[in-house]
Amino acid sequence: MLSSKNTLLLFKNVRYMSTSKTVGFIGLGNMGAHQAINLIKKGHNLVVFDMSKDNMNKLKEKGAKIANSPSEVAKQADVIVTMLPASAHVKSVYCGENGIFQSVKPGTLLLDSSTIDPATAREVASIAKKHQTTMLDCPVSGGTGGAEAGTLTFMVGGSEQDFNSAKPYLECMGKNIVHCGDVGTGQVAKVCNNLVLGISMIAVSEAMNLGVKQGMDPKKLAGIFNTSSARCWTSELYNPCPGVIETSPASRGYTGGFGSALMTKDLGLAVDSAKSIGEPLLLGNSAHQLYTLLVAKGDGQKDFSVVYDFLNKNFKNSN
Amino acid sequence: MLSSKNTLLLFKNVRYMSTSKTVGFIGLGNMGAHQAINLIKKGHNLVVFDMSKDNMNKLKEKGAKIANSPSEVAKQADVIVTMLPASAHVKSVYCGENGIFQSVKPGTLLLDSSTIDPATAREVASIAKKHQTTMLDCPVSGGTGGAEAGTLTFMVGGSEQDFNSAKPYLECMGKNIVHCGDVGTGQVAKVCNNLVLGISMIAVSEAMNLGVKQGMDPKKLAGIFNTSSARCWTSELYNPCPGVIETSPASRGYTGGFGSALMTKDLGLAVDSAKSIGEPLLLGNSAHQLYTLLVAKGDGQKDFSVVYDFLNKNFKNSN
Amino acid sequence: MLSSKNTLLLFKNVRYMSTSKTVGFIGLGNMGAHQAINLIKKGHNLVVFDMSKDNMNKLKEKGAKIANSPSEVAKQADVIVTMLPASAHVKSVYCGENGIFQSVKPGTLLLDSSTIDPATAREVASIAKKHQTTMLDCPVSGGTGGAEAGTLTFMVGGSEQDFNSAKPYLECMGKNIVHCGDVGTGQVAKVCNNLVLGISMIAVSEAMNLGVKQGMDPKKLAGIFNTSSARCWTSELYNPCPGVIETSPASRGYTGGFGSALMTKDLGLAVDSAKSIGEPLLLGNSAHQLYTLLVAKGDGQKDFSVVYDFLNKNFKNSN
Amino acid sequence: MLSSKNTLLLFKNVRYMSTSKTVGFIGLGNMGAHQAINLIKKGHNLVVFDMSKDNMNKLKEKGAKIANSPSEVAKQADVIVTMLPASAHVKSVYCGENGIFQSVKPGTLLLDSSTIDPATAREVASIAKKHQTTMLDCPVSGGTGGAEAGTLTFMVGGSEQDFNSAKPYLECMGKNIVHCGDVGTGQVAKVCNNLVLGISMIAVSEAMNLGVKQGMDPKKLAGIFNTSSARCWTSELYNPCPGVIETSPASRGYTGGFGSALMTKDLGLAVDSAKSIGEPLLLGNSAHQLYTLLVAKGDGQKDFSVVYDFLNKNFKNSN
């Protein structure tokens, strides 16, 4: 017998399947592969493309159809999801040779879950419009764990109506689907969120280091933060000081998690956005510089909480 | 008939009163006056001193005895609580002419709830030892609201045994009494907490401003932060953008709350601590500079969340 | 009778005229108009284009021929000089519709004296190559004064041979023609020079302000700097404190000179360059932020030494 | 036969000797020992004190008399010169047990050539007044080379009359004796000078690194700086890029010169001064942090131009 929850899921899946839509997926990396699999699990027919044959074959095993180019995907799909590393890739996959726009069908729904600058998001969306298609920016938070579990947060930029059209597809991949406003605001929200996160990590690292170097027990200090005005996600759930939280990247040698290089990229988007509209970003810029130092030093693949290690060990033997 | 809770309170008060200790209190400003009144409410006999006659008279009306100097307080008290603006005042009140150490009785418990640098805290505590007395650093968080309500958090530095002796007195003034470690660590914890807080406020301000200037609705943006990795006390309970939280200082013209000048002072302590032990404090220093700018500009008495206003209005008409 | 110097100039002019080359000039703003006039004065036939009819008419009065587009210039010219505000304009004038490359003659020498990012300079130069033409980056220093007097410094990127071909034309507009290295290095040198300049101005402003606020006479303090290890162009020739140097912008209300907005642009190029190659730029970024503040505050058109005023007056009445 | 210049020097020396003044000297480190020897060379009788017996014995060999304490020096001297590491030492040598003020003769001229904060300089000078003595702050620039050669620059704070009394003694140790203003302004000038110097070094390092990493020849780039608006003492005489100037510390592995730890100390004085008067010091603080990083990393004894190495090698193998 089915529990009410399972019944509900069944109905949801039935509803999707009954529409018989084909979903294209381009960009099958650490995040994208999981997202695509979750779409299949929810009953969608997938046609996929990635630069790597291996990545495509993994999806083929799960039931996806393989295409030779973004353009080939576009010919077959009613909805296309893209998950790409940076603005340049988004431009190329949509507007380039053998790109989506070369053969996209009018009415196709285009959902870009890459993290890119809002200006590019708006620019490509306006080209999409010329092809009688609709493009929304839907960057995510939640990491590879969230991608695999289907619990990502999607920050969506687009009209209310388009958001409602996109929601059922995004719900196959995430559990928190937030409408941020017009096209581009999904990217704005993502960038602003990570701006706070990147600065916050340095703040907690500087304060933990200052306390520990003056004789405080790190768990006691973190405990004070977490019950006082210094409380933040970084301190509570992702503390950069090894041993404070057993499951944090800091407690396993700063492996896994969200790399310094990715944080440098996201803060770079914040810095560029601020620059383009002439707004100062004093701490945001300094934070960007500090992560740039970490990457230059060779710690780009370590979790971004490695900033604590950098401060704590005085750069002497932090590798 | 008494509820069990009231019975308990009654017993506690009885216990205090039965010991018949006289508590000295020096420093009856915005914070200290409330703390002293709470000690009276809990049944203690108080003898007080302040530079201002007016401040003393207000306490006299509540039943306190007035003294002419810290030394006069020390002659009569078994326990002395001090609440002073800065290190120089603490040194003077304890070690100066007509200071506490001139006539303190051996065995007196000295509780300094001022926020000062850990080095001074340790220095004065070591002089206290020579007078056969015990001094603990007990800085607070919670503001004047917490002082009045008796819900302050005390961060206490001293031995386990001394902490236990101090706890009943501190519980008259606060509800969260945390033992941080040896003498000085109370100040360390306070300074580190406010270091995170001061930086965090700028982070949220820069990100809210960047988002709003790019078309995001401020409540929506704050909502995203609060359910994601940018979540922090500043964003959730004290958002610097007017209108996001109805009861925050930002929503009443940045009045009330915790002044920029006080944040500048606390970050100054962090900066000095780091300097004295040769540790870098990259964002901490930049944050200190930004609040210094706000104070120089004339916003020292405004709540420290006024940094959002400074960024948002481009300095043009922010007064 | 001619002095030997005049004779020499005469011969130089004769040599130029004998070659009968037609020089195209695109971008007749504050700098470009003077440069174009100097080319005419040295005997060249000019064909010019600018977005503004007025600007073109002024050159027509001096003897230049007017064209309807960059492409029209390119059809007639053997050498083309461009002087444009930013990278986007350079791309458009060279590669856009009715742009230079639409009709450029093989063998044309292209001299871009705009200040743009090195990557764009290299990109457009490589497109130039495909058209069998040669493009050099030749940004200048010396301001409108130097442009009018023909005493500009040109920082030139290109091969040794191409540099030698360009030199006679550049010598018509400047007196210090420096070969920096391969294509793009002219821009690199310009950006690096202004990076030092922009930081140096803030350094001198902070130090002058700190000294003056502590009772030093500003002229005496500047005198000490200039005979000691703080000596720099900014302090000696362009001191930001009013009255120290009678002829500096600071002594005439920060008018004239080199605007904060232009310094913000140039530091922005440095910041972008560093970002693109993953190099940290700690003070460069902070300096960029400070000028961004000045522009946001409304001081973009004031000389960049206005940073002293900003610090000195505590933002209260600096307009 | 004597040239007029030699005659003048002879007379000067005769004048000094004829007055038969005894000069006390306290602090015979790297700088002080050379200064004391130069006073002996110019014909003065010296009585010296230092914490190190060895340092005193070296001066004894040169003809100085040894004392057991600052107080013993003060009993015998008409003029006392001090050269000490920091404010705490100055306070102790003047005001401490067996200090100068314990036995100083009324009318003694006290010349402190240490680099300390202006507030301490003013405080000790005001105590000196109570002992009917006159104290001037006379910090130096020029390094150990200048100390040995007797070519130091002295920045002097005190009244015009006192400055004139001090000048003949200072001229025995230096060649550029600058009157800065009232007591304390000597320190102000020194600190402001080194503030510009410390920032300027980072500016040149960032710009040289940015240029070199983009393919510029370092000598060519420095040459452009030195003939343009980036010209500064740091670039011209002390370039941080190895090989640009053969005799600079950079060209001999950053040995010799002015250590990062000393620059950190001097910028620390600037930061403290600014803090004490509530003035922002944006780049000054960031520069202080960067040198603090270098010291923490283990480069405190290397010349402060090692900041270039830190940037250039990406922290990977810079030791």
What digits encode the pLDDT tens for the residues B194-230? 999 999 999 999 999 999 999 999 999 999 999 889 9
Number of domains present in the structure of chain D: 2
Residue with tokens 């040698």: A253
Two structure tokens written together for C255: 């008018």
Q: D168 with D226, same domain?
A: no
What digits encode the pLDDT tens for the residues D103-135? 999 999 999 999 999 999 999 999 999 999 999
Two structure tokens written together for B208: 């809210």
- Residues from chain C that touch A280, judged by Cβ atoms under 8 A, are 289, 292-293, 296
D318 within domain boundaries: no
Chains near D (3 or more Cβ pairs under 8 Å): A, B, C
Judge whether A260 and A306 are in contact, CB under 8 Å: yes
What digits encode the pLDDT tens for the residues A41-56? 999 999 999 999 999 9
How does residue B8 score in pLDDT terms, banded at 50, 70 and 90? very low
How does residue D317 score in pLDDT terms, banded at 50, 70 and 90? very low
In angstroms, rounded to a whole number, what is the distance separating the alpha carbons of residues D147 and D33? 9
Q: C175 with C204, same domain?
A: no
Q: Based on the number of CB atoms within 10 Å of its own CB, is B11 exposed (0-12), middle (13-18) or buried (19 or more)?
A: exposed
In angstroms, rounded to a whole number, what is the distance separating the alpha carbons of residues C140 and A295? 34
Residue length of chain D: 319
Phi, psi (degrees; rounded to nearest 5) at A15: -60, -45
Q: A242 with A210, same domain?
A: yes
CA separation (Å) from C16 to A243, C11, C12, C23, C155?
76, 9, 6, 11, 22
pLDDT of residue B256: 84
What digits encode the pLDDT tens for the residues C125-171? 999 999 999 999 999 988 888 999 999 999 999 999 999 999 999 99
pLDDT of residue B313: 85
ipTM of the complex model? 0.88
pLDDT of residue B144: 85
- Mean residue pLDDT of chain A comes to 91
Residue with tokens 């960057």: A139
To the nearest whole percent, how much of chain C has pLDDT over 90? 87
Å between A34 CA and nearest CA of chain B: 20
| pLDDT for B126 beyond 90 | yes
How does residue B111 score in pLDDT terms, banded at 50, 70 and 90? very high
- Mean residue pLDDT of chain B comes to 91
How does residue C316 score in pLDDT terms, banded at 50, 70 and 90? low
pLDDT of residue C314: 65
What digits encode the pLDDT tens for the residues D75-87? 999 999 999 999 9
| A199/B194 touch (CB, cutoff 8 Å), yes or no | no
A255 within domain boundaries: yes
- In terms of CA atoms, which chain A residue is nearest residue D295? A314
pLDDT of residue A316: 53
3 state SS of B307: helix
pLDDT of residue D318: 37
Å between B184 CA and nearest CA of chain A: 9
For the domain that residue C259 is a member of, what is the CATH number? 1.10.1040.10
In angstroms, rounded to a whole number, what is the distance separating the alpha carbons of residues D286 and D203? 12
**Residue where a domain stops, chosen among B150, B181, B212:** B181
Which is higher by pLDDT, B241 or A143?
B241
Q: D222 with D154, same domain?
A: no
- In terms of CA atoms, which chain B residue is nearest residue D294? B280
Judge whether B102 and B71 are in contact, CB under 8 Å: yes
* Cα torsion through D290, D296, D297, D301, rounded to 10: 90
b/e D74-101 (16+ beta carbons within 10 angstroms → b): bebbbbbbbbbeebebbbebbbbeebbb
pLDDT of residue C313: 85
Q: C118 with C233, same domain?
A: no
| pLDDT for D19 beyond 80 | no
The DSSP output letter for B251 is G
3 state SS of B108: coil
Strands B79-82 and B22-26, bridge-based pairing: parallel
What digits encode the pLDDT tens for the residues B230-282? 999 999 999 999 999 999 999 999 998 899 999 999 999 999 999 999 999 99
Q: Which of C196, C236, C258, C279 to probe the D interface (max D CBs under 10 A)? A: C196
C279 within domain boundaries: yes
Judge whether C171 and C147 are in contact, CB under 8 Å: no
Residue D192 near chain B (CB below 8 Å): no
Catalytic one among C53, C62, C91, C190? C190
Give the mean model confidence (pLDDT) for residues A249-270. Answer: 94
What digits encode the pLDDT tens for the residues B83-108? 999 999 999 999 999 999 999 999 99
| pLDDT for B283 beyond 60 | yes
Nearest Cα neighbor of D312 from D247, D244, D258 is D244
Q: Which of C263, C265, C267, C285 to probe the A interface (max A CBs under 10 A)? A: C285
Phi, psi (degrees; rounded to nearest 5) at D214: -105, 20
To the nearest whole percent, how much of chain B has pLDDT over 70? 92
Q: C122 with C219, same domain?
A: no
What digits encode the pLDDT tens for the residues A151-201? 999 999 999 999 999 999 999 999 999 999 999 999 999 999 999 999 999
**Which A positions 263-302 lie with beta carbon below 8 A of chain B?**
270, 273-274, 277, 279-284, 286-287, 290
3 state SS of D295: helix
Judge whether C311 and C206 are in contact, CB under 8 Å: yes
Judge whether B277 and A213 are in contact, CB under 8 Å: yes
Q: B150 with B98, same domain?
A: yes
| A315/D315 touch (CB, cutoff 8 Å), yes or no | yes
Q: C175 with C195, same domain?
A: no
Q: B121 with B33, same domain?
A: yes
D319 within domain boundaries: no
Q: C85 with C145, same domain?
A: yes
pLDDT of residue C18: 44
Nearest Cα neighbor of B39 from B4, B80, B71, B6 is B80
pLDDT of residue C256: 84
Q: A200 with A257, same domain?
A: yes
B111's CB contacts (< 8 A; 6+ apart) are B79, B80, B81, B82, B135, B136, B138, B166, B169, B170
Q: C79 with C43, same domain?
A: yes
List the single range of C11-25, D136-150, D259-273 with lowest mean pLDDT: C11-25
Cα C311 versus chain centre, distance: 27
Strands C79-82 and C22-26, bridge-based pairing: parallel
C50 within domain boundaries: yes
| pLDDT for A12 beyond 50 | no
Nearest Cα neighbor of B281 from D268, C295, C18 is D268
**Residue where a domain stops, chosen among B181, B199, B224:** B181
The DSSP output letter for C104 is P
Nearest Cα neighbor of B211 from D86, A281, D203 is A281
pLDDT of residue B185: 96
Give the mean model confidence (pLDDT) for residues D46-52. Answer: 97
Two structure tokens written together for B163: 């902490």
What digits encode the pLDDT tens for the residues C97-127? 999 999 999 999 999 999 999 999 999 999 9
- Mean residue pLDDT of chain D comes to 91
In angstroms, rounded to a whole number, what is the distance separating the alpha carbons of residues C246 and C238? 10
In this complex, which of A271, A280, A296 lies closest to C280 when CB atoms are compared? A296
Range of the domain at B87: 4-181
A317 within domain boundaries: no
In angstroms, rounded to a whole number, what is the distance separating the alpha carbons of residues B268 and D171? 40
To the nearest whole percent, how much of chain D has pLDDT over 90? 87
B318 within domain boundaries: no
- Residues from chain C that touch A293, judged by Cβ atoms under 8 A, are 280
DSSP C70-95: HHHHHHH-SEEEE--SSHHHHHHHHH
| pLDDT for D319 beyond 60 | no
Judge whether C77 and C24 are in contact, CB under 8 Å: yes
Answer yes or no: B219 catalytic.
no
**Residue where a domain stops, chosen among C181, C209, C235:** C181
Chains near C (3 or more Cβ pairs under 8 Å): A, B, D
How does residue A13 score in pLDDT terms, banded at 50, 70 and 90? very low
How does residue C250 score in pLDDT terms, banded at 50, 70 and 90? very high
Two structure tokens written together for C48: 């010019």
What digits encode the pLDDT tens for the residues C189-237? 999 999 999 999 999 999 999 999 999 999 999 999 998 899 999 999 9
Cα atoms found within 13 Å of the Cα of residue D207, Cβ hemisphere only: 37
- In terms of CA atoms, which chain A residue is nearest residue B236? A232
Dihedral sign for Cα C219, C225, C228, C234, please.
negative
Two structure tokens written together for C90: 């350079």
In angstroms, rounded to a whole number, what is the distance separating the alpha carbons of residues D47 and D64? 6
Helix axes C282-294, D185-213, angle to 10 degrees: 110
What digits encode the pLDDT tens for the residues B11-48? 444 444 445 689 999 999 989 999 999 999 999 999 99
Two structure tokens written together for B83: 């609440």
A135 within domain boundaries: yes
Phi, psi (degrees; rounded to nearest 5) at D257: 70, -150
For the domain that residue A102 is a member of, what is the CATH number? 3.40.50.720
Helix H segments across D117-179?
A: 118-130, 143-149, 160-171
pLDDT of residue C28: 97
Cα A148 versus chain centre, distance: 13
pLDDT of residue B314: 64
